[in-house]
Amino acid sequence: MSTLTIAVGPEDHIQGDPDAECTLVEYGDYECPSCGEAYPIVKRIQRHFGKRIRFVFRNFPLSQIHPDAEAAAEVAEFASSRAEFWPMHDLLFENQDRLGDELYEALAERLQLPIEDLRTSLEEGEFKARVRADFAGGVRSGVNGTPTFFINGKRNNGSFDYGSLVAAIDTALKSHRG
């Protein structure tokens, strides 16, 4: 079983209690249809487990098959630099079928982010290194597709449907309590 080689740290995008018993890490791609399917499942899991779980999202754009994935990840990182990562993350998944410059600018406007700064950021590749660092960490952890989930540092090789993830997290919680 693969393990997470890059520990969760302050540079990560984290939702939930920092002291939660369980950490769910997703390596995802904003253009990936399966990641789009996983998005509402993760939201439901967060509601189900509440303070017992924290969620971490890391970029893993599969640029060879998803031409808009890397730019979308850079847009999310741009939003993060202005404390709007999670709203942008959600909007990108909720508008996954419309990825592209027009959508990025509309979402930036909706979140009251400076559109000119976004354009400059994308043109200059301001957040390319950040996105690629996430990707490289995923590769080192054995990620080879999206979405890939890790539960308390161990790769979840099962399905990512709601019932399967809940069962895997329940197992991790039980072993955490020891």
Strand pairing report for 22-28 and 53-59: parallel
Give the pLDDT confidence of 68-98 residue by residue, as tens digits. Answer: 999 999 999 999 999 999 999 999 999 999 9
Return the pLDDT at 175: 86
Position 177 pLDDT exceeds 70 = no
Task: Determine contact, residues 74/108, Cβ cutoff 8 Å.
Answer: no
Q: How far apart are CA 129 and CA 45, in angstroms?
A: 30
Position 100 pLDDT exceeds 60 = yes
Domains and CATH numbers, the chain: 13-177 (3.40.30.10)
Give the pLDDT confidence of 129-174 residue by residue, as tens digits. Answer: 999 999 999 999 999 999 999 999 999 998 999 999 999 999 999 9
Structure tokens at 177: 């309590």
The dihedrals phi and psi of 154, each to the nearest 5 degrees, come to: -110, 135
Burial label, 50 (beta-carbon count in 10 A; 0-12, 13-18, 19+):
exposed
User: E strands of the chain, at which residues?
Assistant: 13-16, 22-28, 53-59, 148-151, 154-155
How many other CB atoms are found less than 10 A from the CB of residue 175? 10
Position 1 pLDDT exceeds 70 = no
